[in-house]
Structure 1
Amino acid sequence: MEENTKKLENKKIGKLLMELSLPAIAAMLVQALYNFVDTIYIARGVGTLGIAGVSVAFPIQMIIMATAGMIGIGGGTLISRSLGAKDSERAEKALGNIFTTIFVLSIGLSILGTIFLDPILNLFGATPDILSYSEDYMSVILYGAIFFSIAMASHNVMRAEGNAKYAMISMIIPGILNIILDPIFIFGLNMEVKGAAVATVLSQFVGVVYIGYYFFSGKSSLKFHRKNFILDWHIMSETLAVGASAFVRQVAGSLLAIVLNNLLGTYGSSLHIAIFGVINRLFMFFFMPMFGIAQGFLPIAGYNYGAKRYDRVKEVLKKAAIAAITWSTVSFTLVQLFPGFLLSIFSTDPSLITEGIPALRIDAMFIWIVGFQVVGSALFQAIGRAGPALLLSMSRQILIFIPMVFIMSHFFGLMGIWYTFPVSDVLSALLTLFFVIREIKILNTLQKKQIQINDEGKEIEESYTSEGKHEYQPQEK
C-alpha cells in the first residue's frame, strides 16, 4: 500500500486534499447525523428532560473520545512525518505504542467513570430532574469506552498513511448501524435513553471489527510487531505533546459544558440546558466538515513537512483554509435564515423553539470565521509544533470563553451567556491569524534554505559528472 504514502508527496495538492478530505467529511457527517438521530429519537420518545439528561452525559463521553483523539492525532502526525522522512520503522513503532496506550487509558477511564458516575454527573450540571436520564445513558456508554477509543485512534492512523477511504468506511459503518438500531432499542424494546446508549456501543463494536480487518488483511502499509507494543518514551512524549492540543480542544468542550450547564441552571432552567444541548448538536453537524477538511490536511502537511517540501505545506494550508471558510460561511447563512426549522428537527416543544431561535442566531453570529481557526490550529499539529497547537486549542474555549462567560452572565444574565459565543470566536480567530502569519514566514525562510541546498547539491553533482568525463581517458594497450 506504499502508493498511498507516495501520493502525499507527488499528487497535486487540490486533488489530494479533496481525495483525503471528502471521505473524512462524509464519515464525520454520518457521525454527526447519528448524534442528530439520537437526539431526535430521545426528544420524541422521552421528551425535553431526556435531551437535557443526555446533554449532561455527552461531555463525559467526549472526554473519553478526546483521550483517544490525543493519542490518535499525536501518533498520526508522527507517523505522517516519519513516512515523509522515509523512516517506516519509527512509523510502525508509533503504531504499536498508540494501541498499547489506548487499551490502558480506555479501560482505566471506564473503571473510574463507573465508580464515580453520580458525582461526575452532578459536577457536569445534572439537576435532580434529569439525573436518572444521565445515569441510564452514561452507565452503558462507559462499558463501550474501549470501542470508541480504538475507533478514534485508528481513524487517525488510516488517514496518516494516506488511506482516507478506509477511515471513512470504518466511521460510516457504525454511524449507519446506530441510526438503524436506535428506534429498535428506544421504541421497540422500550429502553428509552438507555436504548440509545446500547445502540451506540453495539455500533462502535462492529466498527472495531472492521478496523481489525483493515490492519490484519494487508490493507495498511504499516505492520504490527510485538516489540513495538512496548512503550517508547521518545515516541510517546512526542505523541502526547502534539496530541495534547486535540485533547485540550475536546476536553475544553466538556469543561465548557460543565460551566454552561451550571450557569444555565442558575440563570435559566432545564429548558435552557436542553436548548444548549440542541445547539451543541447543530454546531457539531456544522463543524464536522471543517474538522474533515482539517483531517485531510493533517497527513498532507505532516508528510511534506517531514520531506522538507515546504512549498506544498503552504499550498495545502491555503487551499484547506479557503475550503473551511467557505463551509463555515454556508453554515452561518443556514443558521441565520432557518433557525426555527433547524430547532424543530429535534423537538416540537414550542418553548424550546421560541427561546432557542434568538440563542442560536446569537451563538452562530461569527461561526463563519471558525473554519480558519480550525485549519490554522491543525497546521501546528501537522508539523509537530506542540506549543502553538496547544495554545490555539485552549484559546477559544478555555482561555477566552470560560472567563468571559462568568463575567457576561454576571452582568447580563442569560443573554450574556449566549453573547459569549461570538466574542470568543472573534478573539480566537485573531490569535490564530497571528500565529499562522508568523509560521508562514518561518516556512518561507526554510523553503529558501532548502532551495539553496538543492541548488548547491545539483551544482556539485553536475561538476562531478563534468570533471569525471573530462579526466577519463581510455588506456592504450
Structure 2
Amino acid sequence: MKEQSQRLGTQPIPKLLANLSIPAMIGMFVMALYNVIDTLFIARGVGILGVSGVSIGFPVMMIMMAIAAAVGIGGASVISRRLGENKPDEADRVFGNVLFSILIVSLFGFIGAFTFLEPLLHLFGATENIMPYAKDYLFPIMLGAVFFSFAFTTNNIIRSEGNSRFAMMTMIIPAVLNIILDPIFIFTLNMGVQGAALATVISQASVSIVILFYFLRGKSSLNVHLSYLRPQWKVLKEVVTIGMPAFIRQVSGSGMMIAINLMLIKFGGEFEVGVFGIVQKLAMFTIMPMIGVLQGMQPIVGYNYGAQNFARLKETVQLGLKVVSIISAGIFIIMMVFPENLMNIFTGDNATIETGAGAIRIMFALSMLIGAQVVSGGLYQALGMAKPALVLSMARQVLFLIPLVLILPYAFGVNGVWIAFPIADLLAFVLSMVFLFRDRDLFFKSKPSQDSEYKAAPTP
C-alpha cells in the first residue's frame, strides 16, 4: 500500500484533514468558478434566454452526474475501508467493477442524445423560445457522457486512496481549460450555448486522458486488472447501496431544478428562469468549500473505521463540523451584504440585478445551517451506513424543498419559490441534529456503542 493511503491512519488529524480538504476545496472552488464564468459568458454573449436554456437542460446533466456519483462515492467508501483493512486485492476488484459501471452509464447517455432528448426537455419545462438553446447545450454534453462519468467517478476514487493533490488537479485542469475555451467558442466562433457545451466536453475529455495514464502508470494504490472488469453483482450491490444516497442527492437536485423552473414559468416567466439560472450557479459556488471539507473527511473516516481506530474518527468529525460551521457563517454574511454586486458580475440589466438580489437574500437567510447538513449525510456514507445516509441525503431537497416549492407559490407567487429555501434549510438541519445526537456514541466518543441503531455495511 502506498504512503498516500497509509497516512490516513497515522498522520495527525488536523494536518491530515488540511492536507486532504484544502486541495479538495481548491478543486471544488475552481470548478464552481468555472460554472459561474460559464454562465457569465452565456449571459453576456447569448442573453437571458441562453441562461434559461442551460437552466432547463442542466437537470439532465445532473442525472448523468448522479449515476456517476453513486458509483464513484459508493466505490470510494468501499475502497477506503478495504485499504484500511489491508485488503488491496479486494480494493482493486471494487475499482474494476466501478470502471465497468462507467462504461454502461456512458452508453445510455450517448444513446439518449439521439432518442429522447427533445421529449425530455419538454417534460422539464422547455418553452418554444427556450428549446433551441436547451438542445444546443445538452446534445454535445450527452455525446460526451463517457468523459463526464469517468472524470467525476475516478475523482472520488483517487481521493479515497488519500491522493488529494492529484484529485484536486483532476478538477482544476478541466475547469481552467473550459474557462479558456468558452470565449473562443461563444464569441470568436459565434457558437452560442453550443460552444459552451463543446468547451465542457473537450475539457472533460482532456482530463480523462490524464486520469487514465495515472492509473495505467502505477501512480495509484489501485491496479487495473482486466479480469476485475468483469461485473460481480455482490461487489456492485455494495457499491450501489452505499452510493445510493449520493444518487438520490444528485437526482433530487435535478428534480428540485425541474420543479423550480416549472413554478417560475407558471407564476413568473422565462425571465425568472434565467434569473434563477444565475442564482443557482452562485449557490453552487458557495456550497463547494463545504463539500471540499467533507471530501477530505470521508477517506479519513472510512479508513479509520475500517482500522477500528475510533479516536481518530471522533477527532475528524468534531474538527470537520467546526470548519464547515465557520464557512457557513461566512457565506451568510457575504450573501446578505453583497447580492447586488454578485448579480452585477453577470449582467448590467437593472431588473435582473434587482430580482436576483432579492432572491439571494431570501434563499440564503438561514445559510449558516447548511454546513452541518452537508457533513452529516456524508459521514454515514463514509462508514457504509446506507439507511441514515439515504434519509439525510433526501431530506433537504426531496422531503422538504421540492414540496415547499410546489406549494408556497400559490400563496406568495414567485417569492414562494425563494422562501422555500430557508424553510427547507431549517427543517433539514433539525433532522441532521436528531440523527447525530442519536448516534453520538459512534461519532463523538472514542469507541462506538454496540447498541447503535445503524451498522456499517459488512465486509464480504
Q: What TM-score range do you get, normalising by the shorter chain?
A: over 0.9
Consecutive unaligned residues in structure 1, runs of 5 or more: 451-477
Question: Is residue 301–residue 382 contact of structure 1 (8 Å, CA) maintained in 2?
Answer: yes
Kindly report the root-mean-square deviation, in angstroms, between the aligned alpha carbons of the 2 structures. Answer: 1.3
Residue 80 (structure 1) aligns with: 80
2:453 is aligned to none
Shift of 1:106: 1.6
Residue number in structure 2 paired with 1:174: 174
Counterpart of 1:13?
A: 13
* Partner SS, residue 447 of structure 1: coil
2:314 and 2:446 in contact (8 A); partners too: no
Give a deviation string over 1:51-90, Cα, whole Å, max 9, x none: 1111111111111111101100000000001111111111
- The equivalent residue for 2:434 is 434
| Shift, 1:109, TM fit | 2.4
Per the alignment, in what secondary structure is the counterpart of residue 384 of structure 1?
A: coil
Matches within 5 A, 1:304-343: 304-343=304-343
Q: CA deviation at 1:444?
A: 6.3
Q: Which amino acid aligns with 1:357?
A: A
The aligned residue for residue 191 of structure 1 is 191
Partner SS, residue 86 of structure 2 = coil
Displacement, 1:171? Answer: 1.2
Letter in 2 for 1:108: F
Distance in 1 between residues matched to 2:15 and 2:167, nearest whole Å: 18
2: CA distance, partners of 1:70 / 1:113: 22
Aligned-residue sequence identity (percent) comes to: 44
Corresponding residue of 1:37? 37
- How far apart are residue 442 of structure 1 and its match? 3.7
The aligned amino acid for 2:297 is: F
- How far apart, in 2, do the equivalents of 1:106 and 1:429 lie? 35
Q: CA deviation at 1:142?
A: 0.7
Contact 2:62–2:251 (CA under 8 A) maintained in structure 1: yes
Q: Secondary structure at the match of 2:144?
A: helix
Q: Which structure 2 residue ranges, 5 or more long, are not aligned?
A: 451-460
* AA matched with 1:191: M
Q: Give the C-alpha shift of residue 449 in structure 1.
A: 7.5
In the TM superposition, what whole-angstrom CA distance separates every residue of 1:448-474 from its partner, at most 9, and x where no partner exists?
Answer: 789xxxxxxxxxxxxxxxxxxxxxxxx
Alignment of 1:5-154 (within 5 A): 5-154=5-154
Question: What's the counterpart of residue 232 of structure 2?
Answer: 232
> Counterpart of 1:415?
415
- The match for 2:288 is 288
Equivalent position of 1:218 in the other structure: 218
Q: For the Cα contact (< 8 Å) 2:311–2:445, is it kept in 1?
A: no
- Shift of residue 110, structure 1, vs aligned partner: 2.5
Offset from partner CA, 1:243-294 (integer Å, 9 cap, x none)? 0101111111110111110000001111111111111100100011111111
Contact 2:314 2:445 survives alignment (8 Å): no
Other structure's SS at 2:271 match: helix
Residues in 2 aligned to 1:294 and 1:114: alpha-carbon distance in whole angstroms:
37
Q: Secondary structure at the match of 1:220?
A: coil
The offset of 1:418, in angstroms, is 0.9
Query: Is the counterpart of residue 346 in structure 1 residue 346 in structure 2?
Result: yes
Contact 2:310-2:448 at 8 Å conserved across structures: no
2:62–2:250 contact (8 Å) kept in structure 1: yes
Larger-Rg structure:
1
Residues 317 and 444 in structure 2, CA contact (< 8 A), matched pair in contact too:
no
Q: Which residue identity lines up with residue 277 of structure 1 in the other structure? A: G
Shift of 1:440: 2.1
Alpha-carbon distance in 2 for matches of 1:286, 1:448: 33
Deviation sequence 1:305-344 (CA, Å, 0-9, x none): 1111111111111111111111111111111000001011
Question: Is the 1:114–1:142 Cα contact (8 Å) retained in structure 2?
Answer: no
What TM-score results when the alignment is normalised by the length of structure 2?
A: 0.96
Q: Does residue 1:265 correspond to 2:255, yes or no? A: no
Q: What is the alpha-carbon distance in structure 2 between the residues aligned to residue 443 and residue 218 of structure 1?
A: 35
